[in-house]
Chain A
């Protein structure tokens, strides 16, 4: 198993946001996390690279094993963890730097200084993110001049450059137009061969199009977790049924 979450609880101060979630994820699969706003799906995603550590008064309990290692144990180097578990955010968040420097950033902060290696890696990452052809002639231009969809693919390239094995995506297409969205979805499908992907989405079609497995969260609990096809065609819980058919959420 690539990821094993065992009875994960998250507290923001007094709020008990995640109430004992356990699930396992296989290598090179796409897992969709769905559920209404505030159900804890993003919180769960952010446990995977310990992004919640950045929030004051946030406590995480339970075990999360990645490749069998408990990521919350004191011996884990958080920077190494985040290098191995890449993340793409809801809104494109390129740095105020050139396109090239955005992708090279992760390499540079991890101490890579070999110019040739960085050049190759940037090109490789941009190709992986299906952005190379659109930007290869303007790598020195500011990343902020790109369109929203391009910026998001740049952020994916940026995450891929440090060679993570897991890619977390927090509603990666929610701020994008339909064409950009379909490009991102195609990309997710292609990236699956090399990465284990976890994606939070509000979009049922997106979940069913892109993922192998789907987890439905409600009020901080994992209600149902199954193969995507099964969950969408033959859900076992009534709440799941109601949510995916749009009766609430």
Chain B
């Protein structure tokens, strides 16, 4: 091999090595600090205790992750309830109904939603959506900080992820399947929902799971608009603290570097990491297992 080729090859290798090392570094810090946390707090308490109060005095400290996960799941659930039906409907419209012209205009505009900074979304939820809901439905008793508004806004933020990736999946369904359905006398609607969506299901599922892990990891919107009181609740009108919000607030607060409080952020971070890793693996597996191959 020529020398220059060798130089290029080692450079490329070094680049890929760098990312691998970074990943290994991050994971080992997480694992190491989490392990130290669990030397003090039994893992069983961490998983089952229903209270989260690391900042309280020693005798009242509780380290149950459940309230934080409840906050995360609640906001994520609301976001998914917005993003999935809306996103798939939009995807079907764009792929099956819209003319190429409309499609080429609407799709990029939709994708702009994904490039709005999440901090802007956060303020939008806090300063616009919450007051609006309070005004429209005064009987609800919506807290100034609540899970509902940031959940909805998060749903809009991840909407393009669902609609765009699902649209790609629908669009990739071979033309001959559509023709096969139309040739049976099926309408556009029947073709879309009975043939095209089932054929694109693995791609749609992948888009949903990616959106899900994005929502689970989302920080700014919930940190601004969902509140900071860890509550084990599934009531969207209450304020909640998500796992990510907790980490942000603790990192910004004045906690001693080696205190148990400080170590909690690694344990919480580890939990989030495990959840998103799991979700990403499921999506990878789905893609591999259920992708229909048409020759």
Q: How far is the CB of B264 from chain A (nearest CB, A)?
A: 47
* B181 and A83 form a contact (CB under 8 A): no
Q: Quick one: CB contact mask for A100-117 with B, threshold 8 Å, 1 for yes?
A: 000001101110000000
* B176 and A79 form a contact (CB under 8 A): no
Known: A54-B179, A89-B179, A93-B179. A106 touches B184 (CB 8 A): yes
Q: How far is the CB of A13 from chain B (nearest CB, A)?
A: 14
* A158 and B184 form a contact (CB under 8 A): yes
* A51 and B183 form a contact (CB under 8 A): yes
B36 contacts chain A at the CB level, 8 A cutoff: no
The 9 closest A-B pairs by CB, nearest first: A83-B185, A87-B183, A106-B184, A109-B186, A93-B176, A93-B180, A82-B185, A79-B185, A109-B190
A7 contacts chain B at the CB level, 8 A cutoff: no
**Please, which residue of chain B has its CB at the minimum distance from the CB of A50?**
B182
Which of B112-120, B194-202, B211-219 contacts the other chain?
B194-202
B186 contacts which chain A residues (CB < 8 A)?
A: 79, 105-106, 109
A67 contacts chain B at the CB level, 8 A cutoff: no
Which of A91, A94, A95 has the largest number of chain B CB atoms within 10 A? A95
State in angstroms the CA–CA spacing of A54 and B183 once bound together.
11
* A96 and B179 form a contact (CB under 8 A): no
Q: How far is the CB of A161 from chain B (nearest CB, A)?
A: 8
Inter-chain pairs besides A56-B99, A79-B185, A95-B199, 5 sampled, C-beta below 8 Å: A96-B198, A109-B181, A109-B190, A110-B185, A159-B184
A126 contacts chain B at the CB level, 8 A cutoff: no
* B184 and A97 form a contact (CB under 8 A): no
Q: How far is the CB of B196 from chain A (nearest CB, A)?
A: 10
State in angstroms the CA–CA spacing of A46 and B225 once bound together.
57
State in angstroms the CA–CA spacing of A91 and B292 once bound together.
16
Interface size class of B (residues with CB under 8 A): 20 to 34
B174 contacts chain A at the CB level, 8 A cutoff: yes
Q: How far is the CB of A109 from chain B (nearest CB, A)?
A: 4
Q: How far is the CB of B143 from chain A (nearest CB, A)?
A: 46
B179 contacts which chain A residues (CB < 8 A)?
A: 51, 54, 87, 89, 93
CB-contacts of B68-101 with A (<8 A): 99-100
Known: A96-B198, A144-B292. A89 touches B184 (CB 8 A): no
A201 contacts chain B at the CB level, 8 A cutoff: no
CB contacts between A and B, total, < 8 Å: 73
B274 contacts chain A at the CB level, 8 A cutoff: no
B176 contacts which chain A residues (CB < 8 A)?
A: 89, 91, 93
Q: How far is the CB of B295 from chain A (nearest CB, A)?
A: 8
State in angstroms the CA–CA spacing of A69 and B186 once bound together.
21
Known: A49-B183, A89-B180, A158-B184. A56 touches B100 (CB 8 A): yes
B177 contacts which chain A residues (CB < 8 A)?
A: 93, 95
Known: A109-B190, A144-B292. A95 touches B185 (CB 8 A): no
A110 contacts which chain B residues (CB < 8 A)?
A: 185
* B184 and A155 form a contact (CB under 8 A): no
Known: A93-B174, A96-B199, A144-B292. A109 touches B180 (CB 8 A): no
B180 contacts which chain A residues (CB < 8 A)?
A: 89, 93-95, 155, 158
* A80 and B184 form a contact (CB under 8 A): no
B60 contacts which chain A residues (CB < 8 A)?
A: none
A162 contacts chain B at the CB level, 8 A cutoff: yes
**Please, which residue of chain B has its CB at the minimum distance from the CB of A144?**
B292
Contact of B181 (CB < 8 Å), options: A86, A105, A162? A105
* A162 and B292 form a contact (CB under 8 A): no
Q: How far is the CB of A94 from chain B (nearest CB, A)?
A: 8
Q: How far is the CB of A148 from chain B (nearest CB, A)?
A: 9
Q: Quick one: CB contact mask for B206-226 with A, threshold 8 Å, 1 for yes?
A: 000000000000000000000
- 7 examples of A-B residue contacts, CB within 8 angstroms: A54-B178, A87-B179, A89-B180, A95-B177, A106-B186, A109-B185, A159-B183
Q: How far is the CB of A91 from chain B (nearest CB, A)?
A: 6
State in angstroms the CA–CA spacing of A221 and B244 once bound together.
69
B257 contacts which chain A residues (CB < 8 A)?
A: none
State in angstroms the CA–CA spacing of A49 and B186 once bound together.
13
B99 contacts which chain A residues (CB < 8 A)?
A: 56
State in angstroms the CA–CA spacing of A87 and B262 once bound together.
69
B295 contacts which chain A residues (CB < 8 A)?
A: 91
**Please, which residue of chain A has its CB at the minimum distance from the CB of B184?**
A106
State in angstroms the CA–CA spacing of A110 and B194 once bound together.
13
**Please, which residue of chain B has its CB at the minimum distance from the CB of A108?**
B194
Known: A89-B176, A93-B177. A82 touches B183 (CB 8 A): yes
* A83 and B198 form a contact (CB under 8 A): no
Q: How far is the CB of B204 from chain A (nearest CB, A)?
A: 13
Known: A93-B174, A95-B195, A109-B194. A54 touches B182 (CB 8 A): yes
Q: Quick one: CB contact mask for A152-180 with B, threshold 8 Å, 1 for yes?
A: 00010011001000000000000000000
State in angstroms the CA–CA spacing of A238 and B141 once bound together.
88
State in angstroms the CA–CA spacing of A109 and B195 once bound together.
11
B187 contacts chain A at the CB level, 8 A cutoff: yes
CB-contacts of A41-70 with B (<8 A): 49, 51, 54, 56
